């Protein structure tokens, strides 16, 4: 074995040991990929699509045709959640709708929220006369543990250039003040990963609120994920614990290193 190959083997072993040692308790508590209608959430007024431009549903699964949402990309699988002009009279007629996910988080800590998000009304491709989001439009992700304080996790809001509150671009609202100031969303869904949810408890409610009442005030998201770490319980004494695993693996690496060196000698 060459010295280069030998070093690469060592590096791989160390990396593997680190991964086993430090990530062994990570778990996915929720992954909603919107690939079917076996829903992990409830919708405040149900899902709808009026066969025109107005929708609040899984696309294209529930009949949404191109080009309205076909313009989106960067989602996973074949489907994603889409919303556009959600106060449509053929739907519930209300400009604000909420998806609610209720999860059992007993035995987990260090909860993290992740998801893919996009917006179709920012006129980035020059396919419209203007961007379309008003000051009251937006998408807000919040969380609540055991009915306690509601935490703001991720907001997207219209910017308000010079106090203009009508038909502007949708940006991330990094300080949760209702005005977009951060990353510009596009029809290519962008990943927002590992946003911390503070606290411990037994039940987590995750809310995705969408507000919009006019054409092309559109939103898309996919792969809504909650991850956490299992709270440790004492392991059997004859199996290395997670905290001792790196030491255990280091001993293996040292032994292998000696074997390789002895062979080279
Ligand atoms: Ca999907
Ligand atoms: Ca508008
Ligand atoms: Ca802001
Ligand atoms: Ca409308």
CA of 215 to the centre of ligand 4 (A): 6
**Cα 99 to ligand 1 centre (Å):** 16
Least confident of 11-25, 140-154, 220-234: 11-25
Domain containing 115: what range?
27-231
> Which letter does DSSP use for residue 216 in this model?
T
In the predicted model, what is the mean pLDDT of residues 236-263?
Answer: 51
Per-residue pLDDT tens over the stretch 182-237: 999 999 999 999 999 999 999 999 999 999 999 899 999 999 999 999 998 766 66
Give the separation between CA 174 and CA 179, rounded to whole angstroms: 9
Sign of the dihedral defined by the CA atoms of residues 150, 151, 155, 157, in that order: positive
**Are 167 and 257 members of one domain?**
no
**pLDDT (0 to 100) of residue 261:** 44
Q: Is residue 236 part of a domain?
A: no
Residue 239 lies in a domain: no
pLDDT digits (tens, 9 = 90+) for 89-131: 777 889 999 999 999 999 999 999 999 999 999 999 888 899 9
Residue 238 lies in a domain: no
Q: What is the DSSP string of 40-107?
A: SSEETT--EE-SSS-EEEEETTTSPPTTTTTT-BS-SSS-EEEEESTT-TTTT--SEEEEEEEEE-TT
Residue 135 lies inside a defined structural domain of this protein: yes
CA of 166 to the centre of ligand 2 (A): 6
Number of domains present in the structure of the chain: 2
Tell whether 16 and 36 lie within a shared domain. Answer: no
State the distance from the centre of ligand 2 to the C-alpha of 236, rounded, in angstroms. 60
44, 134: one domain: yes
CA 221–ligand 1 middle distance (angstroms)? 8
Q: Are residues 88 and 181 in the same domain?
A: yes
pTM: 0.79
**Does residue 240 belong to any structural domain of this protein?**
no
pLDDT band at 254 (very low <50, low <70, confident <90, very high): low
Supply the pLDDT for residue 65: 75
Whether 171 is covered by a domain: the verdict is yes
The reported pLDDT for the residue numbered 22 is 45
- 53-57, 65-69, 162-166, 251-255: least confidently modelled range: 251-255
Q: What is the CATH number of the domain that holds 183?
A: 2.60.120.200
Q: Assess if residue 254 is contained within a domain.
A: yes
Domain identity same for 20 and 38: no
Q: Are 104 and 220 in contact (CB under 8 A)?
A: no
CA distance 79 to 32: 11
Q: How far apart are CA 263 and CA 139, in angstroms?
A: 62
Query: How far is Cα 236 from Cα 239, in angstroms, rounded to an integer?
Result: 6
For residue 63, the model assigns a pLDDT of 87
What spacing in Å lies between the alpha carbon of 22 and ligand 4's midpoint?
A: 50
Whether residue 257 lies inside any domain: the answer is: yes
Tell me the HSE value of 32 on the side-chain side, using a 13 A CA sphere. Answer: 25
Shared domain for 15 and 31, answered yes or no, is no
pLDDT of 257 > 90? The answer is: no
Beta strand pairing call for 26-32 and 138-145: unpaired
């Amino acid at each position: 074995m060459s010295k280069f190959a030998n070093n690469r083997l060592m590096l791989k072993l160390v990396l593997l040991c680190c991964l086993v040692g430090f990530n062994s308790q990570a778990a996915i508590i929720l992954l909603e990929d919107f690939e079917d209608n076996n829903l992990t959430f409830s919708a405040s007024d149900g899902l709808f699509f009026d066969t025109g431009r107005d929708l609040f549903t899984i696309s294209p699964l529930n009949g949404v045709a191109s080009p309205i949402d076909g313009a989106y990309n960067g989602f996973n699988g074949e489907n994603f959640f889409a919303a556009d002009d959600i106060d449509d009279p053929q739907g519930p007629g209300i400009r604000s709708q909420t998806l609610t996910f209720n999860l059992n988080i007993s035995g987990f800590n260090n909860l993290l929220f992740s998801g893919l998000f996009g917006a179709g009304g920012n006129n980035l491709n020059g396919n419209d006369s203007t961007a379309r989001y008003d000051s009251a439009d937006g998408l807000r992700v919040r969380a609540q543990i055991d009915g306690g304080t509601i935490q703001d996790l991720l907001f997207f809001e219209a910017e308000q250039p010079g106090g203009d509150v009508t038909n502007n671009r949708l940006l991330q609202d990094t300080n949760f003040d209702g005005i977009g100031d951060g990353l510009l969303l596009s029809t290519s869904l962008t990943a927002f990963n590992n946003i911390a949810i503070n606290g411990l408890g037994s039940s987590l409610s995750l809310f995705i609120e969408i507000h919009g009442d006019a054409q092309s005030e559109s939103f898309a998201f996919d792969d809504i994920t909650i991850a956490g770490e299992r709270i440790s319980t004492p392991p059997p004494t004859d199996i290395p614990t997670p905290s001792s695993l790196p030491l255990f693996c280091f001993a293996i690496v040292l032994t292998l290193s000696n074997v390789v060196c002895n062979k080279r000698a």
